[in-house]
Amino acid sequence: MDGWGIGEVSMNELWGNIEVAGACAGSKRYLVGCLGGYGDVDPIESGGEFEVKQVEGRGLVIAWKGFKGRAKDVEVDAKEWGQVPV
């Protein structure tokens, strides 16, 4: 998420990435457990770097606890707009 410059993403956005869904063998419960747990899903590991929370109008949201916003605006060439930095 650091490469994208964002500190949180919705569960639907994350689950829409086929690599994420495949790595979790198609189990959202497993993904939620890996990300710190929520509701009746216990965390797989304690002290993780993510938090799962319910946000009205967005559903489940995954927040990165260690996210630091950019100190200044970054100029982006129009050709690179929407590209994920590597």
Give 8-54 pLDDT, tens digit per residue. 889 998 899 899 999 999 999 999 999 889 999 999 887 788 889 99
Give 53-74 pLDDT, tens digit per residue. 998 988 899 988 877 666 556 5
Residue 73, in any domain of the structure = no
Residue 43, in any domain of the structure = yes
Task: Find the domain containing 5 and state its range.
Answer: 1-50
The number of domains in the chain is 1
75 CB-near residues (< 8 Å, 6+ apart): none
- Does residue 1 register a pLDDT over 60? no
Q: Give the three-class secondary structure for 48.
A: coil
